[in-house]
Structure 1
Amino acid sequence: MGTPERIVIVGGGVAGFSAAQELRSRGYAGALTLVSPEGLPYDRPPLSKGYLLGTEDAGRILLAPESWYAEHGVEVVAARATALDLSGYRPVAVLERGTRLGADRLLVATGALPRRLGIPGGERALALRSRGDADALRRVLVPGARIAVVGAGLIGAEVASAAAALGADATLIDPVATPLVPAVGEDLALRLHAMHGERGVATLVAAPAAIEDGTHDAAPHLVRLAGGRAVAADAVVVGVGVTPDTALAEAAGLEADDGIVVGPDGSTSHHAVFAAGDATRVRRQVAVVRGGPPAVLQRRAEHWEAAVRSGQAAAAGMLGEAPAEVGAPWFWSDRHGVHVEAVGTMDARQAPGARTVLREADGVPVAAFLVAADGHLLGAAAIDQPLVVRAARRIIDRGLVPDPDRLADPSVDPRRLAR
């Protein structure tokens, strides 16, 4: 198709920004427009951490200062795309008020939407996905406020932690007794979940059945739980995952299956349209087995680094270049003053015969490793041990077979584990 003269990116999250950044770093000199409904792109992980706590302001969470866009020739259009017109050879992004932006390549980076509670009164719950959501939540996280958080995964745990730090009375509700086991392994998940009670956060193993008017209990909301119990709250927050925002893509006829279907380079079912970030699902070629599928759809990746890499890969694809090799997936989280990281997979259900190797300090688990039956390292997770996770990532990416005893020994310098 030749080198594009004009590229339009629809979506101002980290995937869209990373694509713009990568395009310029690869030498693309053509016109580049970033359609971002909220204006200058900002980082979302701090929304449930420093920004919610008030230790970071709107300026500090920007992905780049305003001057960067002028210096790199990136036009930011603060508007929302309402449609994609793919009827012609060149795709067109249709913005609110009818503005049309044609392009030689179009990147869809619309991200994901917070999953809502499908229960009566579920619309009462606050979600946390945007800066505006965080601002609204911050206004109710005041000393003495009663906050009910539905969902004890990463976001829910971070919100409960912030609520406790700000003096609110938080109750964390989840139907799973020990959340995050597939993400960090059972031992670390138990330690992390126990921190809630240690910091004054009440935890309930239950599923919400309805959110009602709670004025008769001197609270705006009443969270009814399956089984009849109720939790009075001044605010209810939901953190039960996200769904890919594929509305524009599907309305335009792009292939989607729980996400916009893309190749490793972000290519979609339309020759000039690419996609990246939380809205996508990658189809990768596999070794062809007689009678088996020639390609498989991977699970959607919803973490920050995955979105960055996805944007970078799509930038390469739009220029007709090969994307960089991507290592083992990695994510992090902060709660109650500790830092959690994980790399690869810690989900033992996906690896029959795998075993967990623990690293402890004074009898407390600080890191866990999932080792395959053949000795290869599948994943690792750690609390306040970033060097351990960094070493584990090198081991996984290089396909090394580590010594389990060295993994478990806290006296072994993490920097020596991958040697």
Structure 2
Amino acid sequence: MTARSGRDAGRVVIIGGGLAGYSAAEQLRALGHEAPITLIDAEPTSYDRPPLSKRLFEDDFSVASLAFTTPERLTDLDIGTLFSRRATALDPGAASVALDDGTVVAADTVLLATGGRARTLPIPGADLPGVHVLRSFADAIGIRDAVRNDTRVVVIGAGLIGAELASSLVRRGATVTLVDPVAAPLAPAVGELMAEHLHTMHAAHGVDLVVGITAGIETADDHLTVTIDDGRMLDADVVIVGVGIIPNSSLAEDAGLDVDNGILIDSRFRTSANRVFAAGDVARHRAEDGSLRRREEHWEAAQLSGRESAYGMLGLEVPPRGAAWFWSDRHGVHLEAVGRLSGPGELIVRAGGAHPAVFLRDGGLLVGAAAIDDNNLVRAARRLIDLRVPVTPSDLADDTVSLRALLKAAR
């Protein structure tokens, strides 16, 4: 037990070397944990996933260029790694992990940071050659190798991944059709007005937009045909499905842990097994009243979840978290959003520039904001949300009013 520990975590084995798993290991060391830590992952190293949809056609695109740590940093932190190894079984009572090569790794505490896999479509033809998903570096290389100038690409799903891919594909010279069931994807995340503003950028950059549900994919001579539920047929050389992820919870489920669209955890990131914790995309919080919260699938959420799980594994109080934040890049612009922009409240638009900023105000308080190419505004909005500073609709709508000034005035 270290000086800053209410629980002896002992030997910690972390299954999943992505952002959540690595952040947990790094935070354990920052909190003074001295016992062995081992990262296990089927991937060749720890790397960032957001650049997969943004940078896959860049000349320097490689696993090394995506890595968020280095062998030297891992050595400095005394974090052991078993990369290119897949965990195949978990014994929660013994806190041991079996690997695909027959090795059994002993532990005192296990953290499941197994992330998720790309969701596929339950339609005919979803498994045909030429139909891709994007979740891993290998997926990105498969898409990169299949796309050339004038390649006809149908992207199914216009959420963050689909929108970013469409932007990258157009820059590559592909002919892109983007299909989604709704006319304004991302509306729940950024509000209707911002969602519409973002989506119209696709057409301005040559992307053909189709609203509809994909009913099937089939081969036709030397290409693929995507059928929409209203009967429209879209010819493609490559089809990419970007419709979200499914949590990799089978390891936990096979071990008898509580699972429901994710591995269920309490406020200290503990699963239904006392020595097993979970964090990142795969984890789903169960509140004290038994209700289940939505899983979080953004970059910062994974990072914070990993860090917070370190506190839980050491029996320490988990620090409070501020308003949720995420970002996305498309067609040369940078979107940031914080808090919530749907549900109860008054939507307020700040115009005056090339792009609008949007705010949601509820009960006199700012609860959400989104802006394009304006990091300072979003950072200030986040502070206003976290500090619960009262704001007026007129101040939010007026582009001459600095949100930083509102913060200073409240101090």
**Into which bin does the TM-score normalised by the smaller protein fall?**
over 0.9
Q: Aligned equivalents of 1:73 and 1:52: distance in 2? A: 35
Per-residue CA deviations over 1:322-348 (Å, capped at 9, x if unaligned) read: 12211111100000000001111111x
Q: Aligned equivalents of 1:342 and 1:179: distance in 2? A: 15
| Counterpart for residue 381 of structure 1 | 370
| Counterpart for residue 274 of structure 1 | 277
Q: Which runs of 5+ in 2 are unaligned?
A: 1-5
Select 1:246's aligned residue among 244, 249, 255: 249
Question: Which amino acid is 2:171 matched to?
Answer: A
Contact 2:7/2:313 (<8 A) preserved: no
Deviation, 1:56, is 4.4
Q: 5 Å matches for 1:332-411?
A: 332-347=327-342, 350-351=343-344, 354-362=345-353, 365-372=355-362, 374-411=363-400
Question: Which amino acid is 2:358 matched to?
Answer: A
Q: Aligned equivalents of 2:386 and 2:278: distance in 1? A: 26
**TM-score of the superposed pair, with normalisation by structure 2:** 0.94
Select 1:222's aligned residue among 212, 225, 231: 225
Q: Aligned equivalents of 1:136 and 1:404: distance in 2? A: 48
Q: Aligned equivalents of 1:247 and 1:32: distance in 2? A: 23
Select 2:200's aligned residue among 194, 201, 210: 194
Per-residue CA deviations over 1:73-121 (Å, capped at 9, x if unaligned) read: 11110200011112x3x31111002111111100001101111011000
Name the SS for the 2:319 alignment partner. Answer: coil
Deviation, 1:299, is 0.9
Per-residue CA deviations over 1:157-203 (Å, capped at 9, x if unaligned) read: 00000000111000000110111111111111111111001000000
Select 1:158's aligned residue among 134, 141, 164: 164
Q: 5 Å matches for 1:2-401?
A: 2-54=7-59, 56-78=61-83, 79-86=85-92, 88=93, 90-124=94-128, 125-215=131-221, 219-285=222-288, 294-347=289-342, 350-351=343-344, 354-362=345-353, 365-372=355-362, 374-401=363-390
Name the SS for the 1:134 alignment partner. Answer: helix
Name the SS for the 2:356 alignment partner. Answer: strand
- Corresponding pairs, count: 400
Deviation, 1:12, is 1.2
Q: Aligned equivalents of 2:208 and 2:8: distance in 1? A: 57
Deviation, 1:2, is 4.2
Greater Cα shift, 58-67 or 253-262: 58-67
Deviation, 1:212, is 0.2
Contact 1:358/1:365 (<8 A) preserved: no
Question: Which amino acid is 1:29 matched to?
Answer: E
Contact 1:402/1:418 (<8 A) preserved: no
Question: Which amino acid is 2:321 matched to?
Answer: V
Q: Percent identity?
A: 45
Q: Aligned equivalents of 1:54 and 1:343: distance in 2? A: 32
Q: Aligned equivalents of 1:51 and 1:160: distance in 2? A: 12
Deviation, 1:152, is 0.5
| Counterpart for residue 289 of structure 1 | none
